[in-house]
Amino acid sequence: MFSSIKSTLSPFFTLFLLLLSLDLIVASHRQTTGSDNPEPECAGRWVHVRKLPSRFNLDLLTNCSDYPLYDDFCPYLANHGLGHKTHNRSRSWYRTDSFMLELIFHRRILEYPCLTSDPSTADAIFLPYYAGIDALRYLFVPDINSSAEHGLDLFRFLQSDSPHVWQRHAGHDHFLVMARAAWDFSRPLTNDPPIWGTSFLELPEFYNVTALTLESRAWPWQEHAIPYPTSFHPPNLQLLDSWIARVRRARRTILMVFAGGGGTSSTPNIRRSIRTECSNKTGISTSSSSIIIKPCEFIDCSNGVCEHDPIRYMRTMLQSSFCLQPPGDTPTRRSTFDGILAGCIPVFFEEQSAKAQFGWHLPEEQYGEFSVFILKEEVVFKGLSIIDVLTAIPKAEVRRMREKVIELIPRIMYRRHGSSLGLRAKKDAFDLAVEGTINRIKSRLTEDGLGVR
Ligand SMILES: *[C@@H]1O[C@H](CO)[C@@H](O)[C@H](O)[C@H]1NC(C)=O
Ligand SMILES: *[C@@H]1O[C@H](CO)[C@@H](O)[C@H](O)[C@H]1NC(C)=O
Ligand SMILES: *[C@@H]1O[C@H](CO)[C@@H](O)[C@H](O)[C@H]1NC(C)=O
Ligand SMILES: *[C@@H]1O[C@H](CO)[C@@H](O)[C@H](O)[C@H]1NC(C)=O
Ligand SMILES: *[C@@H]1O[C@H](CO)[C@@H](O)[C@H](O)[C@H]1NC(C)=O
């Protein structure tokens, strides 16, 4: 599995790097001087993309097959991090790896409408650093014993190259994407190896910088969580609309589905309870409207078999009313977003799974309208049946919730780069992340008495 396939990929690879560099060049020419641009809608939302040496981004991709303890991720670099299409004629579906969000984000920011080449007029400074990919060498060998150093090279660069850009707001206006859970970057500086994680978010050097992660800590300081990329990246409004129409039309003949792994150990936990309840309830019951209702479907995604293969679970999610999103190794799951995409109502078992996380994209005050919450302890220790809880929800209420979920689809997907203008008019996960970041930076600068420019 770990054999190097770089040689077979190298023509693609060279082309990929070439295309990305060309895009970068085009974009840096596109960055205009903020004050020259009369577009009023850009006021207060100018972004400057810092030019970083390629060792902070593109060079890191050349080692994609070289980590002895981490799978070869070269295939997922294709299409600027969207991965390969699921099949040749697919127009919106890709084999996307969520950890490639740094590439996806980088490519998307190049077409952000309010870029400025002048950092002194920018409201936010973006660092195109592939932090999660750079972290691999600390997390999975060879640099595992120096993981407290992750980020220091970048900091030194920012202090030596045009240091006034940092100094203007002491880094408070800088942001970057770190496409892993914040936990992976939160190893205390005082701990000796080999404890998991790098110390990027523990370094005082980066306290002021906003990091966009796939999951935040229980008490986040620098980071804010943004949606995991799913496999759906439509290039135009028509394809988005036809997907949404399909989601709305789908016959929901399954009450609930769980797509995931775990739950096989003997210690009580929520995944195990789900597995047990699902395997005991294989019987088919008929609802009043004579649609066959299967109470539960379990899609075994052990060993990462589903990760790059959306067909394995999307069809069943389209047929299901509810998608169970129990915590596993981490409280958050990409599956939450796959399910929303399918119009499948999420069922959460702890607040850390979403409500405490994705406030810019999933409005906190609306959780009761688009999701169900069942405390995991009630299920695991008190024998509460998930099927009973979900069956008790009136049909009209389920329909209302599903409609709310469908409304969220455009907000949580990352549309394809270079997409049509019609689609650009809708705010997607990227747009909301930039908007959230800029607002956060504004309020920080005001709070800290640093003054807004
Ligand atoms: C890639 O791996 C080689 C060998 O492990 C190492 O010498 C080199 O510095 C790595 N390159 C990057 C950009 O990390
Ligand atoms: C998909 O297209 C590629 C090149 O365009 C071709 O090599 C491959 O055979 C095609 N695959 C299928 C399943 O048609
Ligand atoms: C890290 O340090 C430990 C203990 O000092 C050592 O056994 C191990 O070989 C080191 N790992 C690497 C990759 O250098
Ligand atoms: C972070 O901001 C504080 C002021 O809010 C400042 O004192 C500190 O020096 C800044 N840190 C860095 C590394 O610039
Ligand atoms: C489910 O089946 C397991 C054995 O497979 C049994 O131990 C358990 O009591 C059953 N639970 C329910 C709620 O029927």
- Choosing from 56, 62, 63, 143 the residue with most ligand 1 atoms within 8 A of its CB, the one to mutate for a pocket test is 63
433 in the same domain as 320: no
Q: How far does residue 438's CA lie from ligand 1's centre (Å)?
A: 34
Distance from CA of residue 109 to its chain's centroid?
15
Global pTM value: 0.91
- Give the CATH number, domain containing residue 293: 3.40.50
Position 398 in a domain: yes
Position 3 in a domain: no
Question: What is the structure's pLDDT at 315?
Answer: 97
204 in the same domain as 343: no
Stronger pLDDT, 166 or 14, i.e. the higher one: 166
Position 417 in a domain: no
Question: What is the structure's pLDDT at 339?
Answer: 98
132 in the same domain as 101: yes
- Ligand nearest to the Cα of 12, by number: 2
Alpha carbon nearest to ligand 1 atom 6, residue: 63
Question: What is the structure's pLDDT at 3?
Answer: 34
391 in the same domain as 433: no
| Assigned token pair, 353 | 């799974």
171 in the same domain as 46: yes
Q: Range of 16's domain? A: 11-230+427-447
Question: What is the structure's pLDDT at 20?
Answer: 66
Alpha carbon nearest to ligand 1 atom 1, residue: 63
Question: What is the structure's pLDDT at 221?
Answer: 87
Per the structure, how many domains does the chain have? 2
Q: How far does residue 257's CA lie from ligand 3's centre (Å)?
A: 43
174 in the same domain as 44: yes
Alpha carbon nearest to ligand 3 atom 3, residue: 145
371 in the same domain as 282: yes
> Rounded mean pLDDT of the chain?
90
Position 196 in a domain: yes
63 lines ligand 1 (CB under 6 A): yes
246 in the same domain as 308: yes
Q: How far does residue 87's CA lie from ligand 2's centre (Å)?
A: 8
pLDDT tens-place string over residues 293-302: 899 999 999 9
318 in the same domain as 390: yes
99 in the same domain as 127: yes
- Residues 166, 211, 73, 90: is their CA dihedral positive or negative? negative
Which residues 6+ apart lie within 8 Å of 65 measured at CB? 4, 5, 6, 9, 72, 73, 74
Asked if 76 contacts 97 with a C-beta cutoff of 8 angstroms, the reply is yes
Position 6 in a domain: no
pLDDT tens-place string over residues 386-428: 999 999 999 999 999 999 999 999 999 999 999 999 999 999 9
Alpha carbon nearest to ligand 5 atom 13, residue: 277
Q: How far does residue 279's CA lie from ligand 5's centre (Å)?
A: 9
What mean pLDDT do residues 140-163 have? 94
161 lines ligand 1 (CB under 6 A): no
106 in the same domain as 67: yes
Position 419 in a domain: no
Of 133-147, 158-172, 328-342, which gets the smallest average pLDDT? Answer: 133-147
33 in the same domain as 161: yes
Position 335 in a domain: yes
CA atoms within 13 A on the CB side of 128: 26
What mean pLDDT do residues 233-238 have? 98
Position 452 in a domain: no
Asked if 312 contacts 322 with a C-beta cutoff of 8 angstroms, the reply is no
Question: What is the structure's pLDDT at 35?
Answer: 46
